[in-house]
Homo-oligomer: A and B are copies of this chain.
Amino acid sequence: MPAPDAYQQLLALSREASLLSATSALLAWDQETYMPTGAGERRADQLELMARLSHERATDERIADWLSQCANAPGDEPQQAAVREMQRDYDRATKLPGKLVAELAATESRAQQAWASARDASDFTEFQPWLEKMVALQQQKADCLKQDGQTRWDALADLYEPGMRAADLKNLFAPLRQRLVALRQQLDLGKKPDETFKHREIPEPQQEAFVRAVVGSMGFDFERGRIDRSTHPFCISIAGDVRLTTRFHKDNVLDALGSTMHEGGHGLYEQGLPTQHFGSPLAEAVSLGIHESQSRLWENHVGRSQAFWQWCWPQAQQHLDTACAGQSAQSVYALSNLVAPSLIRVEADEATYDLHVMVRFELEQALIDGDLKIADLPARWNELYHDYLGVTVPDDRRGCLQDVHWSCGLFGYFPTYTLGNLYAAQFAAAADESLGGLDQLLQSGDFTPLREWLHEHVHQHGRRYSPAELCERATGAPLSSEPFINYLERKLHHVYEIA
């Protein structure tokens, strides 16, 4: 009976790596929330040590032997799934030569600094040599990782969204882009929501009590999680202890609400992973796209729905008091769906966000495939922004230098944001059908059936199924952009009073 032993040994090692990751997560969380400013250098040393210890476990030579023993004596289906994912992790961790890993790490660090400086100066040429070096290294990386007829870009994207291929995305995105551009143009002619409420000043403690109440209603478990503040909101899991952060602006409570519901959606996914499998891939999130679907579902399909605001408005009035004067559930619902094409991705609304992503998707493919010269990136960026979003990019700072991703070596990452939106819409539609109408539930503030549906169909499975399988099992259909664009058109036509 070699297999059970080998599997148990794999699990023990994987569990240790998970504990190290959880410890890194606490170090990172603390760094963004409570760490005093002078502790940064030593904190970097701690994070580096944890990363090295994790890497040692991920690349332990005994793993190959244990995995082949498991292949010879496969266990039950969940065990087979766990072993498949362990094999995937091991391959990814061991395929890159040490020299390339070191060069990538050094270049990431320096390219990121060059990017920050170039962005501040709004001067792409300062970043250009670093981006050239980074693209060359990513091409080498892709060549090491590539398998089964993947393109280079596919091989990189697979790190974030297992199974994702550029060809499939092009098919998903092409019709979507046309309808998004058309929708943007239609809305220009519609009735713009009233923005009065957006600029009302509300003290932070009131905003905080309000968003905490909403996230509590979503079912976020404060016995196994927290909410704190940070400059950029995030969600991080410290071994089943899930921590969200949020931020407050005096004059933008809807931003705080949206951010917190977004992170809350990530948090529900993390809290819904099967803790009894801690350490195994079965207790890990399956992909960035699926993770993002959970945040976007709560942020948009719930938090920007009319039904939600019917329930939420009295809560808002209770917490925010006089700031609500003269407003209504209807007016704030409309405002939360304001569409305004912008230059900056992270400030984008629900209807134009994916156009920002598509620009990056096209460009990074061209960069990795060598079809676009790095020097031509700014011009091509600006052209696509004009075509897709109808905006004129005035400088590189608000153009191709706005995102940190490429300087950190994150190629193939951006599309996971849009996949999140598509999965979210498809899950929301399936839940709506399965639960006999989400609107009634949201109107009454009963979020439990939706959370349980997501738990049953998404959270509890961890990495047991691939993202594509998970989608099919949960919704009965492969991923499509139809549910998303239909939902958006329906909602925004209604808000903008377009017949």
Q: Enumerate chain A interface residues (CB-CB to B < 8 A).
A: 16, 19-20, 22-23, 26-27, 30, 34-39, 42-43, 45-46, 49-50, 53, 221-226, 228, 238-241, 278
Q: Are A241 and B35 in contact (CB under 8 A)?
A: yes
**In angstroms, how far is the closest chain B Cβ from the Cβ of A377?**
40
B residues in contact with A46, CB < 8 Å: 19, 22-23, 26, 239
Q: How far is the CA of A16 from the CA of B278 in the complex (A)?
A: 27
Known: A42-B241, A240-B42. A226 touches B34 (CB 8 A): yes
Whether A16 contacts B241 in the complex (CB less than 8 A), given A22-B42, A23-B23, A225-B36, comes out as: no
Instruction: Contact check, B20 vs A49: say whether CB atoms are below 8 A apart.
Output: yes
Structural contact, A30 and B30, CB atoms closer than 8 A: yes
Contacts of A221 in B (CB 8 A): 38
Q: Which of A30, A38, A53, A221: most chain B Cβ within 10 A?
A: A38
User: In the complex, A228 Cα to B228 Cα: how many Å?
Assistant: 14
A435 to chain B, nearest CB (A): 28
Query: Chain B contacts of A53 at CB under 8 A?
Result: 53
A196 to chain B minimum Cβ distance, whole angstroms, is 34
A30-B37 in contact given A20-B49, A42-B239, A46-B19 (Cβ < 8 Å) = no
A19 to B49 Cα, complex, angstroms? 8
Q: Is the CB of A278 within 8 A of B22?
A: no
* Shortest CB distance A47–B (Å): 9
Q: Measured between C-beta atoms, what is the minimum distance from A81 to chain B in Å? A: 23
Which residue of B is nearest A22, CB measured?
A: B46
Instruction: Considering the complex, give the chain B residue whose CB is closest to the CB of A228.
Output: B34
Instruction: Give the residue name and chain of the B residue nearest to A271 (CB).
Output: B38
How distant is A132 from chain B, measured CB to nearest CB, in Å?
35
Closest chain B residue to A42, Cβ basis: B239
* Sample (18) of A-B pairs whose CB atoms are under 8 Å apart: A16-B49, A19-B45, A20-B49, A26-B27, A26-B30, A34-B226, A36-B226, A36-B241, A38-B221, A38-B223, A38-B240, A38-B241, A39-B238, A39-B239, A39-B241, A42-B238, A42-B239, A42-B240
Partner of A240, one of B27, B39, B49: B39
| Chain B residue with Cβ nearest A221 | B38
Residue among A39, A223, A239, A240 with the most chain B CB within 10 A?
A39
A222 to B36, CA, bound (A): 7
Cα–Cα, bound, A30→B225 (Å):
13
* Chain B residue at smallest Cβ distance from A39: B241
Query: Which residues from B are CB-within-8-Å of A34?
Result: 34, 226, 228
Also in contact, A23 and B42, with CB within 8 A (given A36-B226, A226-B34): no
Q: Which of B27, B39, B241 contacts A224 (CB 8 A)?
A: B39
Q: Is the CB of B38 within 8 A of A50?
A: no
- Partner among B20, B42, B223, B278 whose Cβ is within 8 Å of the Cβ of A37: B223
> In the complex, which residues of chain B have a beta carbon less than 8 angstroms from the beta carbon of A49?
16, 19-20, 23
Least distance between A283 CB and chain B CB atoms (Å): 11
- Which residues in B have their C-beta under 8 angstroms from that of A238? 39, 42
A36 touches B239 (CB 8 A): no
In the complex, besides A38-B224, A42-B238, A53-B53, 18 extra interface pairs with C-beta distance below 8 angstroms are A16-B49, A22-B46, A23-B27, A23-B50, A26-B26, A26-B27, A30-B30, A34-B34, A35-B241, A36-B223, A36-B241, A37-B223, A39-B224, A39-B238, A42-B241, A42-B278, A45-B239, A46-B239
Of chain B, the residue at the smallest CB distance from A223 is B38
A222→B35 CA distance, assembly (Å): 10
Neighbouring B residues of A16 by C-beta, 8 Å: 49
